[in-house]
Amino acid sequence: MKHSEIMRLIGLVDKLDTKHYNQLKAVIEKRDSVKFVSRLLNDDSKNISCPYCKSLQLSKWGIRNDLQRYKCKSCKRTFNTLTGTPLAHLHKKGRWLSYAECIKKGMSIRMAADKCGVNKTTSFRWRHRFLANETVIKPKVLSGIVEVNELTFAWSDKGSRTLKRKARKRGYGASKYIPSVMKVFSLFCRDRGKNTFDNVYHKFGAERIKPELLNLISKDSLFCSLDKETYLKYTRDNKVRHAILSISKGELKKKDIVHINNILIYQNKLKLWMSRFNGVATKYLDNYLSWFRAIDEFDFRIKPETILLRAKRPEEYNTNHFSKQSG
């Protein structure tokens, strides 16, 4: 656009009434948001590799939809920074930051849809795309005193259009009266540095938790749990130092430092936070546990920009002590 045309356009702004001025302002803000999100997602382009062959030999190949495209010199394929990530092929980039803010606040699908001006099905799709990588952002090692406990959830087919059983009007509450085939278990491990690991199991037992815990808990750590057979068998078979709290004796603490108060507080906060969703489908349970873990890890001050970047490249955050932000 020529300079004279731009100046003429600027001159016409003063002649706009309130309605048309607000319409113009909304268009400009939307464009600014798209530009900001695109710039945010392009910023780490120096670390990018080909998503197809992992080659680092790349050349720039133009810009499309405000995203830099690249061509791999090895496999000759083109891509952008979102190719191969959960954010690929999603539209309306200008609303992603607003939706990330909804993720931070733990809004329901419909509330987030209303806030961002999208359909509820889009809101649902965005939620699980934004959370897809959170399930792999877990601490690699827990050290010191490691508190361990599990939660039991009722199996839920919420949202499913095909059931392999007769439908129930009210479902099950997560109690001991649920048939074992209708239970799902989540193991929680948390050290005193507030690093938290969780995992979902359809069947719970010492052999089920062994693969994750052997590499997760350092050899000099103290495994602190209730006197349940699963934990007793695991620590006995794998020669892990174990501080046992007896339920029958009412033991909640030993020597002031051996307790599982931290993990119990974390689980209570999780249950309170999840109550807003009125139950979640079992197939998405890991996403919700990871969602809360991320919020807790940043002490409920995670930035929308961080949520976007974690959805794009989780490997940069898959450490025990990445930078936590405030504000």
- pLDDT value, residue 46: 65
Three-class HEC string of the chain: CCHHHHHHHHHHHCCCCHHHHHHHHHHHHHHHHHHHHHHHHHCCHHHCCCCCCCCCCEEEEEEECCEEEEEECCCCCEEECCCCCCCCCCCCHHHHHHHHHHHHHCCCHHHHHHHHCCCHHHHHHHHHHHHHHHHHCCCCCECCEEEEEEEEEECCCCCCCCCCCCCCCCCCCCCCCCCHHHEEEEEEEEECCCCEEEEEECCCCHHHHHHHHHHHECCCCEEEEECCHHHHHHHHHHCCCEEEECCCCCCCEECCCEECHHHHHHHHHHHHHHHHHCCCCHHHHHHHHHHHHHHHHCCCCCCHHHHHHHHHCHHHHCCCCCCCCCC
219-263 pLDDT tens trace:
889 999 998 999 999 999 989 999 998 877 777 777 778 899 999
Whether the predicted pLDDT of 121 surpasses 90: yes
Structure tokens belonging to residue 223:
């495994």
Whether the predicted pLDDT of 176 surpasses 60: no
Instruction: State how far the Cα of 220 lies from the Cα of 143, in Å rounded to an integer.
Output: 7
Domain ranges of the chain: 139-160+170-280
At residue 32 the predicted structure's pLDDT band, cuts being 50, 70 and 90, is confident
- Single pTM value for the model: 0.83
For the domain covering 139-160+170-280, report its CATH number.
3.30.420
297-319 pLDDT tens trace:
998 889 999 999 899 877 655 54
- pLDDT value, residue 323: 37
Overall average pLDDT of the 2-8 stretch: 75
Whether the predicted pLDDT of 195 surpasses 90: yes
